[in-house]
Structure 1
Amino acid sequence: MSSPLVVPKLASIALAVLAILSTTTGHATDTAPLERWRSYAGVSWEKPRDGADPAPFAASVDAPIAGLHFDAQGTAYVSTPRLVSAGALATLSTLDTRAQSGPARLTAFPSTAGNAVTGAPDRSLRNVLGFHVDRKNGWLWALDMGFVAGESEAPAGAQKVLVLDLQTGRTVKRIALDGVADRSGSFLNDIAVDERRRVAYISDSGMRSAPNNMVGLIVVDFASGQARRVLDKHPALQIEPGVKVMSHGTEVWPGNPLLLGINGIALSPDGLTLYWTVTTGTHVRSLRTAILRKADASDQQIAAAIRDLGAVGGNTDGIVTDARGRLYITDVTRNGIVRYDPRTQAMSLIASDDGVRWPDTPAIHPDGALVFTSSALNEHFASSVKNGQERYELWRLPLGGRKLKAN
């Protein structure tokens, strides 16, 4: 994407947009307390010595932590997408959450060589933003966007899903996406996996083709290794005209506004309902997955089954469901978490803190708590964070419910 402009303060616009966004969404009168669980000064792939913090990666400011998921034992996996710079040592790593400060202690997964930008494009992880830790099968589904910073087009074969064994790191399956994604216009953002049926759903935000985003939904079948694209350029996945993305009271990249289509994507615990949100938009939508798994279903039939669940209240990024089927949405406008309960159809802001800067990926920890990343991604992409001043944080919200089960 082109280099965004540094963001000025536009308080009057922010207040106007927030007023509009808030009119159809319920608000929690007593929001839950958020805990700044971990706060890291950059990242490091070095091994610590003699109990001291490892030296931070020299270009940590260009390697913000974005994606986050946990395995059944609580091991954290994170993505450092190569969107700002191609220089990060790895784009997918494990994170040692035992360390609570200093640089984030990362270990490349499956290996440093397996994350090499110079490796074979169809086999090496080049640029991972979204991924899924599959607790049922013991796999990690890595969604590779294919391109890295500075490339106008993804190399042939680079757009792919790599299914990796969590224990050994070996590639279980490689599923090519070049046939269902555009090498210059697609922005393969996030992936949700039905672990029991072994079917994955991918959001293509199409941001590299903005303002006429090549948005779409990609359905991937593990057994056949086939992928197909549906709802190509459909309005329910597209940016909403007139909507500005707001964070901390200012517009994101005024003059070169953020135009991000379908982004966060998640499944109900039984895998029967798919949810998604649009970042440059205001609504959350759903679709029964049975029709998506029908290879002969037309786009018209699929589109007719889409449900609009209502306005979130702010702009959004990542989403996740808990074991009870409740949907949690990161609200980048109000610096917190919105919950949607499909049983009551209630949508409300349940937690917020001014210390949160661009809440990105939410994940359910094995202990049942919600944990999400906050790395001021919008500021990093605007090149407005100075080297040495980056903070990559994990925030925690106790949910008080049942632990997550594999779907």
Structure 2
Amino acid sequence: MSSPLVVLAAALALSTASTAASATDTAPLERWRSYAGVSWEAPKDGADPAPFESSVNAPIAGLHFDAQGAAYVSTPRLVSADAPATLSKLDTRVQTGPARLTAFPSKEGNAVKGAPDQSLRNVLGFHVDRKNGWLWALDLGFVAGESEAPPDAQKVLVLDLKSGRTVKRIGLDGAADRKGSFLNDIAVDEQRRVAYISDSGMRSAPNNMVGLIVVDFASGKARRVLDRNPNLQVEPGVKVVAHGAEIWPGNPLLLGINGIALSPDARTLYWTVTTGTRARALPTAILRKAGASDDQIATATRDLGSVGGNTDGIATDSAGGLYITDVTRNGIVKYDPRTKSMSLIASDEGVRWPDTAAIHPDGDLVFTSSALNDHFAGAVKSGEERYELWRLRIDGKMARPR
């Protein structure tokens, strides 16, 4: 994911091909929850808890739900390392005031000064594993102000959802670079217990050290594939645009592979590039094949076509539909693997940088919108931050009241 704004010219009038996303027949989006900052304090006498004094530096980015609908969120320490937690449970019963967060697994387990190999320092992407009752937390390792991640800080911690205990720790230092990597998102094959990690390489821009990391739970090993491959890389000439203006003109956002997701049968891995416009797919069988070369893996990669705008998070539903957050058009694009069609299905001017998309147990698509680009540019004043969750009925009907 990381200054102010200019207009999109012809770059996003990309294509009239059948694969290009269009804005026809869009469905209504619902601003489901809207929070004035965040708080890790307990409410007193029925009043809203006091917001965390540095809430503006702790935007809500990641979001996932467990099987009962409990929400987990990440507040990455990319702007500041002050937040008491980078991974928390969110009480979605509360709709106003600051977002009420409870550190997961605990504040001690989120301590920046804790043991780098065990404590969560900076979580952006994570996965709630409903089959095994786990949460797979991806730790970037570094926090704001650090030029590189400390040894052993880049890792995946698999945590038990009920107890918070660490089920397994898988180190990533051998598959990632402590200075140049930006471990962005994680998708998990819950049946095979294999995880796939997107390394956006943003800290090594403009020559991003992009890559995919394959993590095997059973062996506890991680290996890197498609290192600096063009299919994962920033697309030349593409600018990142939101609300009609370029993100950080003069210091452009150069973010490679970002959102990744698996098909329901986990046989296909999907991903998008933020400083880019296209979606791609790859059979996971070749990624799990230890002897497969990068050339073989690259040859198996499929270009699914233009999304229509710049992207961030992606998710798949139980029927195999792929949903992509479109930060340029403030909405959601759907790719249908059966018809190979791509279309903008929902958009709203109130959405400011749609980030992580997640499927709620009731079937709705929910995504975070926290104007992350403005936060990382220092353009949001303290006390004016809004961290929102938006919801969409995937069947296109009006959202159910709740």
* Distance in 1 (alpha carbons) for counterparts of 2:295 and 2:345: 36
Residues 1:209 and 2:204 aligned together: yes
Residue pair 1:40, 1:391 contacting (<8 A) in 2 also: yes
Q: CA deviation at 1:16?
A: 2.3
Which position in structure 1 is the counterpart of 2:162?
167
1:152 to 139, 142, 147: 147
* 2:271 corresponding residue in structure 1: 276
For structure 1, list consecutive stretches of 5 or more residues without a partner in the other structure.
402-407
2:194 and 2:216 in contact (8 A); partners too: yes
- Report whether the alignment pairs 1:46 with 2:23: no
Deviations 1:327-376 (A, max 9, x none): 00000000000000000001000000000000000000000000000000
Q: Match for 1:19 among 6, 13, 24? A: 13
Task: Provide the rounded CA distance (Å) in 1 between the counterparts of 2:61 and 2:11.
Answer: 26
Q: 1:349 aligns with which of 344, 352, 355?
A: 344
What's the % identity of the aligned pairs? Answer: 80
TM-fit CA distance, 1:20: 2.8
Gaps of 5+ in 2: 397-402
Alignment correspondent of 2:249:
254
Amino acid aligned to 1:257? P
In the other structure, the counterpart of 2:118 is 123
Partner residue of 1:372 out of 356, 367, 372? 367
Q: Aligned Cα RMSD in Å?
A: 1.2
Map 1:67-78 to 2 at 5 A. 67-78=62-73
Provide the rounded CA distance (Å) in 1 between the counterparts of 2:188 and 2:104: 19
Aligned counterpart, 1:405: none
> 1:293 corresponds to which residue?
288
Task: Give the alignment partner of residue 138 of structure 1, picking from 133, 139, 148.
Answer: 133
Establish whether residue 89 from structure 1 lines up as the match of residue 87 from structure 2. no
Figure out how many residues of one structure are paired with residues of the other and give that number.
Answer: 395
- Normalised to the residue count of structure 1, the TM-score between the two structures is 0.96
Q: Give how far 1:18 is off.
A: 2.8
Native 8 Å contact 1:22 1:313 kept in 2: no
* Structure 1 residues 358 and 120: alpha-carbon distance in aligned structure 2, compared to 1, 3 A threshold: same
Whether the 8 Å contact between 2:24 and 2:343 is mirrored in structure 1 is no
Aligned residues of 2:21 and 2:306 also touching (Cα < 8 A) = no
What is the CA distance between 1:25 and its match in structure 2?
A: 1.1
- Which residue among 31, 37, 52 is the counterpart of 1:57? 52
Query: Which residue matches 2:260?
Result: 265
Aligned partner letter, 2:228: K
Deviation at 1:399, TM superposition (A): 1.3
Alpha-carbon distance in 2 for matches of 1:133, 1:15: 39
- In the TM superposition, what whole-angstrom CA distance separates every residue of 1:146-175 from its partner, at most 9, and x where no partner exists? 000000010000000000000000000000
* Partners of 1:219 and 1:228 within 8 A in 2: yes
Contact 1:265/1:320 (<8 A) preserved:
yes
Q: What's 1:336 paired with? A: 331
SS in 2 for 1:179: coil
Matched, 1:305 2:282: no
Residue 21 (structure 1) shift: 6.1
What is the alpha-carbon distance in structure 2 between the residues aligned to residue 35 and residue 135 of structure 1? Answer: 26
2:82 matches 1:104: no
Q: Does 1:359 align with 2:354?
A: yes
**In the alignment, which of 187, 194, 198 is matched to residue 199 of structure 1?**
194
